[in-house]
Structure 1
Amino acid sequence: MPLWKTFHNGKTHLSIALGLAGCYRGYSVRFFTAAGLVTKLTEARDDKRLGRLTRKLAKANLLIVDELSCVSFPRHGAELLFQVISERSERGSVIINTNLDFSKWDEIFSDHMLAAALVDRITFKSHILNMNGDSYRLKHR
C-alpha cells in the first residue's frame, strides 16, 4: 500500500511518523496536544518555571502541536501558546494539526488579533497540507 494511503486523513499519525523520522536522524522532537501544552505552560508559569520550559521547547528541532481545534483557550493560555510558537518562527520547525480553517482560529484564541498574528507567523515560509476529507474512523466503524 502506498505511504500516502496509509496516512490518508491521519494528521496525528503523519506527524508522529515525521517526528520519529527526525528522531532516527538525531533531531530532538517534542510532541504535545495543544491543550496539554497550554496546561504545561500555565503550570510552569504558576510555579515560576516558565522561562526554563520555554528554553527547553526552543531547543527542540521540531515541536509538534496536535489537536489545536479541539479546545478553546483562555486568554492567558492563548498568549503562552502564541509566545512559544512565535519564538520558534524562522528558528525551529513546528507541525500544527487542526481541523479548523485559519479564518476560524479566533474561535480557539479569545483574541482576533492574537489569532491573526499567530496565523501570520506559522504560514510564513511553511508547507500547508490540507488533509480534511472523509473521516477514517467513521469509514472503518
Structure 2
Amino acid sequence: MSQLSRKAWMEKVTAYSKELRLPMMAQHLEMHVQEANQLDLCYEEFLAHLLQKECDARAEAARTSRIRLAQFTHKKYLEDLSLVDLPEDAQKKLKHLQSLTFIEEGRNVILSGNPGTGKSHIGIGLGLRACQEGYKVWFTTVPLLINQIKECRSQQTLRAFQNRFEKYDLVIADEMGYISFDKEGSELLFTHLSLRAGRKSTIITTNLSFERWGEIFRDPVMTAAMIDRLTHQSYLVNMNGNSYRLKETKEWLQTQQLT
C-alpha cells in the first residue's frame, strides 16, 4: 500500500469514526495503528482493541457525567475515611452499605448523630460510589430541597420536578434538623420523600434523634408519619461519637505548628 493510499484510508476511517460518533477512534487512530503493528495484532484483535478503547472512554465519560449531574458540594470518597475513627455502629454497617445492595433493594439509609462524626462524608461517599457503578444520583440539603420544591410549585413546574425526583436511584438529603420548617415546608418534604418510599433509596443525614424530629416538623402526627415512612425496612446508623472533623482539625493544627 502506498503512503498516499494509506493516508486516504486513514482519512476515511477518521471520517467514518466521526460520523458514527466514535471520538477515541477518530482522535487516536494513528496511535492505535502503531500499537497494533508493534504487537503484531491480527485484524480481529485490532478491531476488538479499538472498540474496547471506545467503550472504556464512553464508560468513563458517563461516570464523569453522572457525578457532575449529582451536584455534590464536595468530593468525599469512602476510601478517604478512617474506619477506626468512625462511631462503632458505622464501622459495623459501612462494609455492607458500600456494597450498594440497599439501592437495589430500594431501602433508605438514615445516618443520625452528633455533628462532625462523618455522616455527610459517608453519604457523599456512597453517592460517588453509586455514580461510579452506574446509578443515577442526586445530592441536596434538606433546606435547599424544600426551597426548590416551593419554587417549582410557584413556577408551575412541580410535576416535572416530581417526575425527576422519583426516578433517581439514590437521593442524598443532607442536614435534616439544622433548620426547622414551616408547615408548608414540612408537608412538601413529607409528600416528596413519600414518593420514593419502598421503591427508591434515600440517604438522610441528621443531627437529631427521632425523638427530637418534632422540633423541626412541629406537627406530632406528621412527625410520626415521616419517621414511620422513612425508617420502614431502612438501615439506621447510629453516628453518635467523637467528632471526626474535630480530630482532623487538631491534626492539621499540629502539622502547622511543626512547620
Q: TM-score range by the shorter chain?
A: over 0.9
Q: 1:108 matched to which residue of 2?
A: 216
Alignment of 1:58-73 (within 5 A): 58-73=166-181
Taking only the aligned residue pairs, the percentage that are identical comes to 42
Q: Tell me the CA shift for residue 103 of structure 1.
A: 1.1
Change (3 A) 1:112 1:2: closer
Q: Report the RMSD for the aligned CA atoms in angstroms.
A: 1.7
Compute the TM-score of the two structures, normalised by the length of structure 2: 0.52
Q: Tell me the CA shift for residue 112 of structure 1.
A: 1.2
Distance 1:2 1:50 in 2: 37
Aligned length: 141
Q: What is the DSSP-based 3-state SS (H/G/I as helix, E as strand, rest coil) of the residue aligned with 1:133?
A: coil
Q: What is the DSSP-based 3-state SS (H/G/I as helix, E as strand, rest coil) of the residue aligned with 1:30?
A: strand
Amino acid at match of 1:29: V
Q: Does 1:81 align with 2:189?
A: yes
Q: 1:131 matched to which residue of 2?
A: 239
Question: Larger Rg: 1 or 2?
Answer: 2
Q: Does 1:5 align with 2:113?
A: no
Contact 1:7 1:14 in 2 (8 A): no
Distance 2:158 2:244 in 1: 38
Q: What is the DSSP-based 3-state SS (H/G/I as helix, E as strand, rest coil) of the residue aligned with 1:71?
A: coil
Contact 1:69 1:98 in 2 (8 A): yes
Q: Tell me the CA shift for residue 7 of structure 1.
A: 5.6
Q: 1:34 matched to which residue of 2?
A: 142
Compute the TM-score of the two structures, normalised by the length of structure 1: 0.93
Amino acid at match of 2:240: N
Q: Tell me the CA shift for residue 138 of structure 1.
A: 3.1
Structure 2 spans left out of the alignment, 5+ residues: 1-79, 88-116, 251-259
Q: Tell me the CA shift for residue 61 of structure 1.
A: 0.3
Structure 1 spans left out of the alignment, 5+ residues: none
Alignment of 1:49-60 (within 5 A): 49-60=157-168
Q: 2:254 matched to which residue of 1?
A: none
Q: Tell me the CA shift for residue 82 of structure 1.
A: 0.4
